[in-house]
Chains A and B, each alone.
Chain A
């Protein structure tokens, strides 16, 4: 190939200051990074990470207009959202103002700008609090609950959902109360408080059943199924997931079918039924293809498939699946997922007794540190890194990484994973 060689991403990013204004440029740079063919087959190929991919300045320059177009488009709809809020204000339609502000927040969330979304929701909440009709407030609180959850702010998230639930119940807003219960369940899951999560989901399920809302009933059954699986009540999990699946298939909800089959795959894997698990994941992928584009869902299924291969010792297939997922995550600038992919790649190399696999954990740590609200992910990377070192007999380093993981889980008030870290630390000391 003619022309100068590409610049490595690790070097390219080192030249870019951490400025918010440059975030879209950073995302563009990451999305166009690719390995050259020679690297793929070189001895460093198996250890290829984002940092070792290459970018051509020429290509970045050529793609810049597309990035500008996307930014302009995003700003246009945001500004339009604000103008709509202003028009609502002008005609005295305060619920309309709240709805417009919430829409703007959702647009920010769609492009991963959670902190900015929270600011929109807070303004919306301020307007909603002054209204006699409490439903806009219920909705604004729910939006805040979810965005705080995404930012890893569990206590704030729980507070918003609690308030949303109290208001919804006072207003006899059954849909609002169901949604708030579901949100509280999700916060409890994020904190590893499974008993609490079960109580909230069950409450949500009763409300959804009373309101004859089949999609929400199905969703809550799926979530209860997940919890049952985590608590090792596998028969109950199977029953709940089957019911949810039947409900979604009858309603033709492709995205929900993909989600429930993704869970079914995990259940089958836990039961050691690898063939069934693989079939469930593959069908989940097929449903995801029919559903509105959700790269996060597709990646989640692919990663479960890779983890299944990893657990079943099918390392070649696991690696191929992880590399496909890596490409999808890079193209979609899915940095959090990418960090998880590299954690799995590190585990895979650990399973092969390959010490150089540490490069994947190092890359994962570097990626998550640059993300806001990624403490859980960082803790999980350290946990896996510690186990990797332990497997290679490097006990001192293993202990140091596990202790770091414990510190991070502690800072979140996370119970279950922290207990797991303690177990591993005890095993190291034994």
Chain B
């Protein structure tokens, strides 16, 4: 007898027709899976097509739009999963992936979640598991559109300062006080909090505004090239010095030199910067001439410079020269509802850049954005919104437009059959995975945080397939 899907009273969105591409060979357990799916699809709410393998599936994905790809993972489930996630990244209509594997390990489940896989189900496939996964796809259709709020950014050239939180209002006040002077400023804040935008704001509102704003990222430039980048060099000063080069100090003459990530500079170079700040003159590499420079210096770092001083990695005298005024920027999480304003600002900004008309974001998107940790702060948010705008084809930004990593956070405990409660093993595996991610896979450091011996941790990682 054919089963209908699902057995609960259907809502409007639950009745939506789903197009599923099932990727499985006809033989073995996969054959049984296909037979079951065809039976379950008899209620007319699923359209099922099949592909025997990944290459043929890719062809079908290029030609038509699918809501879901249900893929049976092979002997190397981790590799297969990675390939599927990669393949669907470029597929029309961003179909969601339901992976199926015989007895998937806890580690595989966690990796699948992290990669944004809708669900990882066990073989033999149970109808109720599939129903639950498909309901999550259908629930996307039930997202409510929220109009984009009005945002009044403070323009800083091509950039903007956006936000009305108390933490940002403090920053604006300090910025207004320091901009009018020529004082050296040190901007501190986590990565992506907007240090360069604040530096630009100081420049455009200060006495050096008619001069150039020259930014140097000290951490990006190879150590052996940083000196010549800052101070310039004469032709033939070293191998590769093919022409005379004017350094950034000179380029910023009568303007502002912004030294970003200053803590990454070697002690030897710090001494040269100190001399330039104190004496207001520099020498090009390989040159004997002393060149006077008149620049306003703004430095920025995401590190704790006082801690770096204690460790002997940063010169104390340079710190006091730079930190005449210190501005600390808040993290995105500390900025509360600025998240919504920034989201609206970037949606409009990128919609204009990519020629899209987007008027709203869904409540689910807001929920996901609010729940995210934002390690990369505003820069990460900007990146997420840009990607989402690129893939959006309608006037509302929805959850399925967000990158896999954020969608991976959609997995909710309520979806669990046991009423949302984790087993002890699941909770342990998830916590270990979280700590390992925090330590970049460093087992020793993770074991220290977890308060267990590294051998115990290694054994548990093996047990959970992490």
The answer to whether A282 and B87 touch (CB under 8 A), given A3-B444, A40-B376, A289-B54, is yes
Whether the Cβ atoms of A316 and B390 lie closer than 8 Å is yes
Whether the Cβ atoms of B376 and A47 lie closer than 8 Å is no
Q: Does B440 interact with chain A (Cβ within 8 Å)? A: yes
Contact of A316 among B196, B387, B439 (CB under 8 A): B387
Q: Does A58 interact with chain B (Cβ within 8 Å)? A: yes
Instruction: Count contacts between A and B, CB distance < 8 Å.
Output: 127
Whether the Cβ atoms of A316 and B195 lie closer than 8 Å is no
Query: Chain B interface: which of A139-147, A330-338, A393-401, A409-417?
Result: A393-401
Within 8 A of B (CB), among A81-137: none
Q: Does A279 interact with chain B (Cβ within 8 Å)? A: yes
Whether the Cβ atoms of A283 and B386 lie closer than 8 Å is no
Interface string of B208-232 (1 = CB under 8 A from A): 0000000001111111010000000
Within 8 A of B (CB), among A11-68: 11, 34, 36-48, 51-52, 56, 58-59, 62
Interface string of B77-111 (1 = CB under 8 A from A): 00100010011001000000000000000000000
Whether the Cβ atoms of A278 and B90 lie closer than 8 Å is yes
Specify which chain B residues have a CB less than 8 angstroms from the CB of A52 in the assembled complex: 219-220
Interface string of B439-460 (1 = CB under 8 A from A): 1111111001100000000000
Q: Complex formed: what's the CA distance from A401 to B240 in Å?
A: 9
Query: Chain B interface: which of A70-78, A184-192, A355-363?
Result: A355-363
Contact of A56 among B90, B192, B218, B442 (CB under 8 A): B442
Specify which chain A residues have a CB less than 8 angstroms from the CB of B375 in the assembled complex: 37-38, 41
CB distance from B162 to the nearest CB of A (A): 18
CB distance from B197 to the nearest CB of A (A): 11
Q: Does A287 interact with chain B (Cβ within 8 Å)? A: yes
Q: Complex formed: what's the CA distance from A260 to B54 in Å?
A: 17
Q: Does A370 interact with chain B (Cβ within 8 Å)? A: no
Whether the Cβ atoms of B217 and A43 lie closer than 8 Å is yes
Specify which chain A residues have a CB less than 8 angstroms from the CB of B441 in the assembled complex: 34
Whether the Cβ atoms of A43 and B55 lie closer than 8 Å is no
Interface string of A253-279 (1 = CB under 8 A from B): 010010000000000000000000011
Q: Complex formed: what's the CA distance from A34 to B439 in Å?
A: 12
Q: Complex formed: what's the CA distance from A401 to B375 in Å?
A: 39
Q: Complex formed: what's the CA distance from A362 to B379 in Å?
A: 26
Specify which chain B residues have a CB less than 8 angstroms from the CB of A286 in the assembled complex: 53-55, 57-58, 83, 87
Whether the Cβ atoms of B302 and A42 lie closer than 8 Å is yes
Q: Does A429 interact with chain B (Cβ within 8 Å)? A: no
Whether the Cβ atoms of A282 and B62 lie closer than 8 Å is yes
Q: Does A285 interact with chain B (Cβ within 8 Å)? A: yes
Whether the Cβ atoms of B440 and A37 lie closer than 8 Å is yes
Q: Does A420 interact with chain B (Cβ within 8 Å)? A: no
Further contacts, 17 of them, CB under 8 A, given A1-B438, A39-B219: A3-B445, A41-B191, A42-B192, A42-B261, A43-B217, A44-B219, A51-B222, A58-B442, A283-B59, A283-B62, A285-B58, A286-B53, A286-B83, A287-B55, A290-B54, A359-B222, A401-B242
What are 25 pairs between A and B in contact, CB < 8 Å?
Answer: A1-B438, A1-B439, A1-B442, A2-B445, A10-B223, A34-B440, A36-B440, A38-B302, A42-B261, A43-B195, A43-B379, A44-B218, A48-B220, A56-B442, A62-B443, A257-B55, A279-B58, A282-B90, A283-B59, A283-B62, A286-B54, A359-B222, A359-B225, A362-B225, A400-B243
List 5 A-B pairs, minimum CB-CB distance, nearest first.
A41-B376, A47-B220, A400-B242, A44-B219, A42-B191
